[in-house]
Amino acid sequence: MDVGLTGFIGMLLFVAVLLAIRWIRVIKINSTKQVEQNEEIINLLRRQQ
């Protein structure tokens, strides 16, 4: 296999891993925010009763 092609494939894999890590991080942040919002909603509903 050509060295340039190997380097290109390696770079693509590296970028794919970085994007996957970023995507997982964004999902984690959003799910944490969702949990906080759900807790606020539950507290508001309990106060109404």
pLDDT tens per residue, range 1-48: 678 899 999 999 999 999 999 999 999 999 999 999 999 999 999 998
Using CA atoms, how far residue 25 sits from 1, 14, 19, 29, 35, in Å, is 35, 17, 10, 6, 15
Q: How far is CA 38 from the centre of its chain?
A: 19
Q: What is the pLDDT of residue 13?
A: 97
Structure tokens at 44: 């508001």
Q: What is the pLDDT of residue 2?
A: 76
Using CA atoms, how far residue 7 sits from 1, 3, 4, 33, in Å, is 10, 6, 5, 39
